[in-house]
A and B are shown apart, each in its own frame.
Chain A
Amino acid sequence: MGLDIRYPIGMMFTLIGLILTGTGLFNGGNVSIAGINIGVNINLVWGLFLLVFGAFMWVAAIRSKGQ
């Protein structure tokens, strides 16, 4: 297989994770666009999760390449 799809998936979610984490840190994420307080900075939490997910995909791709 010429392209390991885990690279683009890892890259994309890492970038989106960075965007969400940044938004969470600087603009918050507790209040939805409808003005409801959702009680958690979801941008920060989910951004960090996506960072971990993205990194996981990278590592998986790199490890399988090494074999």
Chain B
Amino acid sequence: MTQLVHLSPVDYSILVLYVAFVIGIGFALKRQMKTSADFFLSGRNIPAWVTGLAFLSANLGALELVGMAASGAKYGIATCHFYWVGAIPAMIFLAVFMMPFYYGSKARSVPEYLKLRFDERTRAFNSVSFAVMTIFASGISLNALAKLLHSLLGWDYNISLWVCSVIVLLYVLKGGLTSAIYTEVLQFFMIVLGFAPVVYLGLKDAGGWNAVKEKLSGVAAQPAVYNLSDSATKTFNPDAWTSAWKPLLAGPSANPMGIDLFAMVFGLGFVLSFGYWCTNFLVVQRAMAAKDMKAARNTPLVAAVPKMLFPLLVILPGMIALALSATAGKDYAFPKAVIESSKMPAAIAAVRQAVAGNASVEETTKALASATGNSFNSAKVEELLKAAKAGAPISDEQAAIAFQDAVVNDYDGVILSLVKRYCPTGLLGLALTALLASFMSGMAGNVTAFNTVWTYDLYQAYIAPDKSDEHYASMGRAITVVGILLSIGAAYFASMWTNAMDIIQLVFGFVNAPLFATFLLGMFWSRTTGTGAFVGLVSGTAASALFHACSISQGNLPGVKGAYLAKLVVLPSDMAQNFWLASFAFIVCFVLTVVVSLATNRTKSDEDLKGLVYSLTPKQQVDQAWFARPGFIGIVLLIACAILNWLFW
């Protein structure tokens, strides 16, 4: 159990102020919520800078914040590829090529676009899988929040969970999508202004970027010392943590992510990122709420600017933490789970027995894990075994220190460890409020996307069509309550099974991976038929499940991690497995959609597809100056992004 943090009245006052403002915004907007369109679509009257920041904030859940810092420590600057290769080009593509069809078609949701372009089957498939995903996403985030408040502040898990849910419920219920979007903007500033001083203090403490770089080259020379490798003899080139491309070009064994160039550029950069940013209704909904076509197309472009710089805020802290842990005299230990002292005798007994029975490293690691309930780094266990076999007498205290040293890193704890290290009372309140804000923006984003898809794409489409607008508006409010309750259920589910998280993430991958192929063909190839799209999408999803069932990454055992049907493909890392799975699913969906479309007849005429397909939509007269057009801004942003890649080459 790590030490609890005590909040002072000053910290509490910041926290309470924030909660009062988000709820206040909900109530202030209540007067405007008259029709269902006000509630679900914000009445389409929000300016681009607001929807742009909300677009970003809805994605900036705490899992992103905590997870990116974790990856920053684990993989170094290569984590930036999620931004500079993945998100930015995808956001520009959305603005320049796709937004005209989403916004111009007057579809109220992404699944509804699929219905207009194809038919009910694709829409039903997409809306059901999307609805389930949003509930689990908000549940996972809620569980993580309640756990964090419990372990950090000692608050009761159940109370934290319910109180946070009720706050989100209040402002979403009162102000609908508008209030979710407005609070997301407030949360965006909260997150940035709450974490920026922590990152600044961390960088200052570590001695600046050059000192971080130097320390990380030392880490790269002996990653096993920092529990970053399972092999005691593994070494990386000095720039493995601090260069974005060079380690990648040298192959999977030369970068800590264990990944090859194709999986990175095609799997992550193209399939996964475009799939997420261009087709996920959670983010696209924000752009669809903009006041006019110009604002809708500018939404992702506005978001791209801060997104490009976010690695400073979310990835750099992980690298700082790793560098600090490698700096003598800083007295900073990388966060790890602490072995309970009551379990120590059992651990010592387990190792003694392993030495006596001449057990392998793998068996000893397992025995230690079952004796203590912690996970251990096998390179460290190997060293332990060697030392024990050499016969040096080891005291119990020495053994306890050695065991603790061998516990795997708690990467997710990086952000909190830095907050605790640098924040005085006052700033602490601000940083924790920022963390709370990120959880809430993620949850509210999911809930608003869920209630729209449920009401328009499932309830109105299949359960109760042709009702009055008031009926759908009140359904929207009711389903918001249901959505929050389901999220709470999902949170308890995630808290009960340690594997729940892995399984949920896995299913996200299955659903997301092929989706972009369907949209790409639908928007840019008028020959794509409804049957083609449906068959392609379902087979793509099935293909990703099948790929997972037949592949595994090195060092994992068949089961949840894959290969439960057969072990046909072995990949160098989990990340590589994810990216290859996505690439495979995309290609299957793409090829089958093309083949089946060619074999079936079109059911929609060119006239039907006007405004839905690129080639059949007349070019609009633009009244914007050349430098204000999305195409031009997109190119400027791409160049800026290329420069960033080059700077950290």
Contact = CB atoms under 8 A, between A and B. Distances in A.
Contact of A19 (B13, B25, B422): B13
B103 interface: no
Interface in A3-28: 3, 5, 8-9, 11-13, 15-16, 19-20, 23-24, 27-28
A32 B421 contact: yes
A3 B25 contact: yes
A40 B421 CA distance: 14
Given A3-B28, A19-B13, A36 B421 contact: yes
B444 interface: no
A39 B12 CA distance: 25
Interface residues of A, number: 33
Contact of A33 (B28, B189, B193, B425): B425
B614 to A, nearest CB: 31
B29 A24 contact: no
A27 B502 CA distance: 45
A20 B29 CA distance: 29
A29 B193 contact: no
A43 B426 contact: yes
For the complex of A and B, 5 pairs with smallest distance between CB atoms: A23-B426, A43-B426, A29-B424, A12-B21, A5-B182
B625 interface: no
Contact of A38 (B5, B18, B422): B422
B420 interface: yes
Contact of B424 (A2, A13, A38, A50): A38
A32 B21 contact: no
A53 B193 contact: yes
Given A2-B31, A33-B420, A38 B193 contact: no
Given A1-B46, A2-B31, A13 B193 contact: yes
A9 B425 contact: no
Contacts of B56: none
Nearest to A24: B426
B258 to A, nearest CB: 34
B17 interface: yes
A40 B13 CA distance: 23
A38 to B, nearest CB: 5
B422 A23 contact: no
A39 B205 CA distance: 9
A32 B424 contact: yes
A20 B21 contact: no
B423 interface: yes
A33 B426 contact: no
Contact of B25 (A8, A28, A47): A8
10 contacts: A3-B28, A8-B28, A12-B17, A19-B426, A23-B426, A29-B426, A32-B424, A33-B420, A42-B197, A47-B426
B428 interface: yes
B193 A50 contact: yes
Contacts of A5: 25, 50, 182, 185-186
Interface in B292-330: none
Looking at chain A's contact residues, the main secondary structure is helix
Contacts of B422: 32, 34, 36, 38, 42
Given A12-B21, A23-B426, A1 B47 contact: yes
B430 interface: yes
Contacts of B45: 1
Interface in B170-187: 182, 185-186
B402 to A, nearest CB: 25
A32 B201 CA distance: 11
B24 interface: yes
A46 interface: yes
Interface in B1-26: 5-6, 10, 13-14, 17-18, 21, 24-25
A42 B427 contact: yes
Interface residues of B, number: 38
Interface string B388-429: 000000000000000000000000000000001111111110
B573 interface: no
A19 B204 contact: no
Contact of B185 (A9, A11, A28): A9
Given A12-B186, A16-B430, A32 B13 contact: no
Given A19-B14, A34-B420, 9 more contacts: A2-B29, A3-B25, A9-B189, A20-B426, A33-B420, A38-B201, A38-B204, A42-B423, A42-B424
Contacts of B17: 12, 15-16, 19
A27 B429 CA distance: 14
A20 B430 contact: yes
Contacts of B24: 8
B424 A31 contact: yes
A27 B405 CA distance: 37
Contacts of A1: 45-47, 291
Interface string B158-175: 000000000000000000
B138 to A, nearest CB: 23
Interface string B23-52: 011001101100000000000011100100
Contacts of A9: 185-186, 189
Contacts of A11: 21
Interface string A37-61: 0111011001100100100000000
Nearest to A3: B28
Contact of B423 (A8, A13, A33, A50): A33
A38 B430 contact: no
Given A2-B29, A5-B185, A38-B205, A30 B193 contact: no
